[in-house]
């Protein structure tokens, strides 16, 4: 800064030259920073897409079953299996489910969906293909996907 001050006091021509040089350097710096910011934005976008893909691959293994009432006295897995057997007519047993969890209520007064994970991917595909048998009932089957 002292050097720049001495140059400014030395001669008006040199001052103008040093300001022009400073302006050029600032423009180069600004251009470089904008390109770095654009690169960071692109990397963040790619990372967000990758995370979403990973999350989708994980969630693809699950199905959501709606319309199952929440009752603390009855085992949830037994309730879900008996509902699916009665409504779909699928030969299903409790051992075929590796995860059966009631998710939080989204709307007050309504029961939240039950998240299911099957031990066999083929069984999940079978249940998913038979979801139309639930038409006209209070039960629904949906996939557990990201937005």
List pLDDT tens digits, range 2-13.
766 666 666 555
Tell me: pLDDT of 15 over 80: no
| Together in a domain, 50 and 78 | no
| Together in a domain, 136 and 120 | yes
- The CATH number of residue 99's host domain is 3.30.70.1820
Tell me: pLDDT of 41 over 80: yes
What local confidence, expressed as pLDDT, does residue 31 receive? 93
| Together in a domain, 42 and 110 | no
Rg (alpha carbons) of the chain, rounded to whole number: 31
Domain extent for 13: 2-58
Stretch 12-39: mean pLDDT: 83
| Together in a domain, 70 and 117 | yes
Tell me: pLDDT of 69 over 80: no
Sign, CA dihedral 120-123-129-133, equals: negative
Torsion of CA 135, 137, 138, 143, to 10 degrees: -30
Overall domain count for the chain: 2
């Amino acid at each position: 800064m002292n050097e720049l001050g001495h140059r400014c006091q030395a001669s008006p021509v040199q001052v103008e030259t040093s300001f022009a040089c400073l302006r050029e350097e600032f423009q180069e710096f600004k251009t470089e920073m904008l390109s770095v910011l654009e690169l960071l934005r692109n990397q963040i976008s790619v990372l967000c897409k990758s995370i979403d893909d990973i999350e989708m691959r994980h969630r693809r293994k699950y199905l959501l079953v709606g319309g199952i009432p929440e009752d603390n006295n009855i085992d949830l897995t037994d309730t879900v299996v008996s509902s699916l057997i009665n409504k779909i007519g699928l030969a299903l047993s409790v051992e075929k489910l590796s995860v059966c969890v009631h998710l939080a209520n989204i709307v007050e007064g309504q029961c939240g969906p039950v998240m299911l994970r099957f031990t066999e991917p083929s069984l999940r595909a079978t249940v998913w293909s038979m979801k139309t048998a639930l038409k006209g009932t209070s039960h629904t089957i949906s996939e557990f996907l990201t937005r």
